[in-house]
Structure 1
Amino acid sequence: MNTKKLYIETMGCAMNNRDSDHLIAELREKEGYVLTDQAQEADLILINTCSVREKPERKLFSEIGQFNAIKKPHAKIGVCGCTASHLGEEIIKKAPSVSFVLGARNISKITQVIHQDKAVEVDTNFDDSTYMFSKNTNPDIKALLNISIGCDKKCTYCIVPHTRGKEISIPTQMLLDEAQKLAQNGVKELLLLGQNVNHYGTRFSNPHKPTNFTQLLRELSQIEGIERIRFTSPHPLHMDDEFLEEFASNPKICKSIHIPLQSGSTKVLREMKRGYTQEWYLDRVQKLKSLVPHVGISTDIIVAFPTETEEDFEETMKVLNLVQFDTLYSFIYSPRPHTEAQNLHNPISKEEASKRLATLQARHKEILAQKAKQEIGSIHSVLIENHRDQSPYIWSEGRSDTNRLIKIPDQVLPLGSIVSIKVTHHEGGSLSGELLS
């Protein structure tokens, strides 16, 4: 019997990676597909798309054309994810080689649409929050776990509510059961996913006991075998003291956190409809650092939002200097359809936008160099994730509790082990150290 082969390309965020995991597991268990890394061998090619910025969306049709040129004669091409939700049947009109379109809120329908020529399933009101997806048979040391779908925020620059629909939380018991199975299969670290994870518990599909994100963290941390819990992304607006205190005191919660800033200007934050001020953001960071002085903080920043003045940009630089972020994801504003900001007059030139981004990133690079020097002599708890062998050099590497990638030269340590490492060297922001235990 000929085995059916699946090739999948995933663009965008961790949520898309998790959706791809679901697609792979459903097709493997219910349709007999096996993964291949060669698109020309595949019987089914899936492109799981992102639409947060314009560039990945433009890239889609180029990718479709390339796959169509190399695919087997009867192989199917399916477009999934956020751009699928956004463009729908327009994708098939522009690219007739596409066999079906499956929106981000409709992933559970994959085994249906592969049998329906030119199917378009993009209903953002569809609710699969209680759907039992097939499981990954080869879990890693780390695993992704969706705790909610959709987004209720109305940020004026963001297309996600249009592509992923209203926010619905996945029932707590389903999450605990899945986490338990993952732990039994050797998973040590969970990464909880949601557009606003710390808004968990606001809405469920079915009657559910009152709960919140802090309570979910407490319950997940009781599972034996789960050693570490991370999550992305919390919203600054919902970072109350109860949450911050649980973050600080729960030993299983990694002491790294992504706190999207977007802009340091209160005026721009208001125009973005983010719901918080610069003062609130800095207050939350100060509270967090008072509880966990060594906390690792990452963020997102958009430069050249249509109403951003030079003074507004300087406010962003002010926050960058005050917080000293460990990781920075920064982008020039990208206008997206179905968003309020698309209709704003934008007087900022491409040259000025690029200049602001370069200024931001250059300053952050300086901050990272300073922070790397300060790491010498520090001790970190590191989860060993990989071995590297580039003869004559060998090393193990993993992530610290604060999400720093650390190399341990001349060591082949057991994958999944958690060890104490003393940082002895830094180079270009990367850290290496010696084993203490």
Structure 2
Amino acid sequence: MTKKLYIQTLGCAMNERDSEHIIAELAQKESYKLTDNPKDADLILINTCSVREKPERKLFSEIGQFALHKKDGAKIGVCGCTASHLGSEIIKKSPHVDFVLGARNISKITQVLHTPKAVEVDIDYDDSTYVFASPQTMGIKALLNISIGCDKKCSYCIVPFTRGKEISIPQDLLLSEARKLAAQGVKELLLLGQNVNNYGVRFSVPHERVDFTTLLRNLSEIEGIARLRFTSPHPLHMNDEFLAEFARNKKICKAIHIPLQSGSSKILKAMKRGYSKEWYLDRVARLREFCAHEGVMDVGIGTDIIVGFPGESEADFEDTLEVVRAVEFDTMYSFIYSPRPHTSAYEIESSLLVDAEVAKDRLARLQNLHKEILAKKSQREIGKIVEVLIENHHTQEGWSEGRSDHNRLIRIVGFVGEIGQMVRVRITKAHGGSLSGEVV
């Protein structure tokens, strides 16, 4: 008998990929089918994030709501990073929860499903060679994990304590999965890892020496894969060989997410990021230099920024604004610093904490600056011809939508293309940060 699964995914693309694995495993091995109504579900899963404090607090509220409205006999499971972090405390606080499955233990989903009050949260567990079940249906874009865990010890980040040490997934498994995805119609791959360009630093099985640049070259040779994207590279590992391959390889999309976190070298040192403001700006300049040499005059650059980190002065914040003005980021995820347990910043003396109102003001100023930059950059796009991979369309209204090589979302007016079709589009209008155009 087919059972129904409801899954709520919080957080990053890594969590999205973990949810895809869970869904495929349960569909193939336990006959579960997805539902978008938790009241109909036989199994309710919450795949959690613990990077910031709010999602963690929200978890127990969500559990309470699901427990109140679920049908008789339905199970509730908590997965992901908060599961790794809190473990058995989740069941103690919420007895309605039937099992807890950590982010490093996703391959055990069918095991914990049949083990009452199971708690599997071993961050040293290695499933880097586990071959997950394949999704029953695929679109034109797919996520592909190339590594698990993180060896960095950034002072604000809880991820190493929830996902364990960094292990790369063997290249032959990645190439095999990519070929399988291409055969199913996938045209664009998004490679995932906490520090993707540190790929190859450690394997848990005997393996040839291979780095991220080599992996990119090999994946780009797979027939049917038209585009490669990845997130997130670490600025510290952006060597010239990698930057040159990024610029040269036609299948690598010319959009890259490079986390900054702060523009102040003093704050970057306190964050234990391993690079300075000058290093970051040098890598961006070198990236653009390599791209220009290959005739690529436009690179989409995204970033992450934390404001209000302990000890951040107004001068430090001005350094961040200076970098934002210099780079002109295309996308920016910005947050106020949120203290997380187990991290070294959690123990920082209270005298260094930034006033909440000051932090809010800095975040608003940062985001307003970015909006101004985006509006100016969008105007510069008018008249350019770009290649767009169609991801969505509306027959009655007569438009299609998709992303350019530079990761800009573009609406194509007066054209209803096929999903997965690549079309050349001339940008005709800019609306704030959004773009529209027409087929050439």
One-letter code of the match for 1:432?
A: S
Q: What is the TM-score of this pair, normalised by structure 2?
A: 0.98
Classify the secondary structure of the residue corresponding to 2:125: coil
How much has 1:137 moved relative to structure 2? Answer: 1.6
Pairing of 1:132-151 with structure 2 (within 5 A): 132-151=131-150
Matched, 1:37 2:44: no
Segment drifting more, 290-299 vs 329-338:
290-299
Runs of 4+ deviating beyond 2 Å: none
| Match of residue 280 from structure 1 | 279
Which of 347, 354, 359 is matched with 2:360 structurally?
Answer: 354
- Whole-angstrom distance in 1 between the partners of 2:83 and 2:163: 11
One-letter code of the match for 1:368?
A: L
How much has 1:417 moved relative to structure 2? Answer: 1.1
Classify the secondary structure of the residue corresponding to 2:303: strand
Pairing of 1:309-328 with structure 2 (within 5 A): 309-328=313-332
Which of 377, 381, 384 is matched with 1:375 structurally?
Answer: 381
- Whole-angstrom distance in 1 between the partners of 2:213 and 2:422: 25
Classify the secondary structure of the residue corresponding to 2:14: helix
Pairing of 1:70-81 with structure 2 (within 5 A): 70-81=69-80
- Whole-angstrom distance in 2 between the partners of 1:23 and 1:173: 22
Matched, 1:256 2:255: yes
How much has 1:291 moved relative to structure 2? Answer: 2.4
How much has 1:73 moved relative to structure 2? Answer: 1.2
Deviations 1:70-126 (A, max 9, x none): 101110000000000000000000000000000000000000001011000000000
- Whole-angstrom distance in 1 between the partners of 2:421 and 2:415: 13
Does structure 1 conserve the Cα–Cα contact (< 8 Å) formed by 2:388 and 2:405? yes
Deviations 1:300-321 (A, max 9, x none): 0000001111110000000000
- Whole-angstrom distance in 1 between the partners of 2:354 and 2:338: 12
Matched, 1:14 2:2: no
How much has 1:34 moved relative to structure 2? Answer: 0.6
One-letter code of the match for 2:400?
A: S
- Whole-angstrom distance in 1 between the partners of 2:205 and 2:375: 50
Segment drifting more, 413-422 vs 126-135:
413-422
- Whole-angstrom distance in 2 between the partners of 1:202 and 1:34: 38
| Match of residue 437 from structure 2 | 433
| Match of residue 364 from structure 1 | 370
Matched, 1:181 2:185: no
How much has 1:67 moved relative to structure 2? Answer: 0.4
| Match of residue 302 from structure 1 | 306
| Match of residue 265 from structure 1 | 264
Does structure 1 conserve the Cα–Cα contact (< 8 Å) formed by 2:105 and 2:122? yes
Give unpaired runs (5+ residues) of structure 1.
none
Which of 378, 387, 394 is matched with 1:388 structurally?
Answer: 394
One-letter code of the match for 2:277?
A: Q
| Match of residue 347 from structure 2 | 343
How much has 1:46 moved relative to structure 2? Answer: 0.3
Classify the secondary structure of the residue corresponding to 1:93: helix
Classify the secondary structure of the residue corresponding to 1:58: helix
Does structure 1 conserve the Cα–Cα contact (< 8 Å) formed by 2:150 and 2:165? yes
How much has 1:251 moved relative to structure 2? Answer: 0.1
Does structure 1 conserve the Cα–Cα contact (< 8 Å) formed by 2:415 and 2:438? no
- Whole-angstrom distance in 2 between the partners of 1:36 and 1:358: 38
How much has 1:289 moved relative to structure 2? Answer: 1.3
Classify the secondary structure of the residue corresponding to 1:397: strand
Deviations 1:313-372 (A, max 9, x none): 000000000000000100000000000001113431110000000000000000000001
Classify the secondary structure of the residue corresponding to 1:127: coil
One-letter code of the match for 2:331?
A: T
- Whole-angstrom distance in 1 between the partners of 2:114 and 2:244: 50
How much has 1:146 moved relative to structure 2? Answer: 0.2
One-letter code of the match for 1:336?
A: R
How much has 1:415 moved relative to structure 2? Answer: 1.0
Deviations 1:140-167 (A, max 9, x none): 1000000000000000000000000000
| Match of residue 294 from structure 2 | none
Query: How many percent of aligned residue pairs carry the same amino acid?
Result: 68
Pairing of 1:392-411 with structure 2 (within 5 A): 393-411=397-415
Classify the secondary structure of the residue corresponding to 1:328: strand
- Whole-angstrom distance in 2 between the partners of 1:117 and 1:73: 16
Does structure 1 conserve the Cα–Cα contact (< 8 Å) formed by 2:4 and 2:41? yes
Q: What is the TM-score of this pair, normalised by structure 1?
A: 0.98
Does structure 1 conserve the Cα–Cα contact (< 8 Å) formed by 2:197 and 2:237? yes
One-letter code of the match for 1:372?
A: S
- Whole-angstrom distance in 2 between the partners of 1:5 and 1:76: 11
- Whole-angstrom distance in 2 between the partners of 1:4 and 1:421: 44
Classify the secondary structure of the residue corresponding to 2:82: helix
- Whole-angstrom distance in 2 between the partners of 1:113 and 1:172: 29
One-letter code of the match for 1:237?
A: L
Report the aligned-residue RMSD. Answer: 0.7
How much has 1:181 moved relative to structure 2? Answer: 0.5
One-letter code of the match for 1:32?
A: S
Give unpaired runs (5+ residues) of structure 2.
292-296
One-letter code of the match for 2:285?
A: Q
Deviations 1:381-410 (A, max 9, x none): 110000035x5x321000000000000012
Deviations 1:161-220 (A, max 9, x none): 000000000000000000001001100000000000000000001110001000000000
- Whole-angstrom distance in 2 between the partners of 1:284 and 1:388: 41
How much has 1:419 moved relative to structure 2? Answer: 1.1
- Whole-angstrom distance in 2 between the partners of 1:429 and 1:271: 33
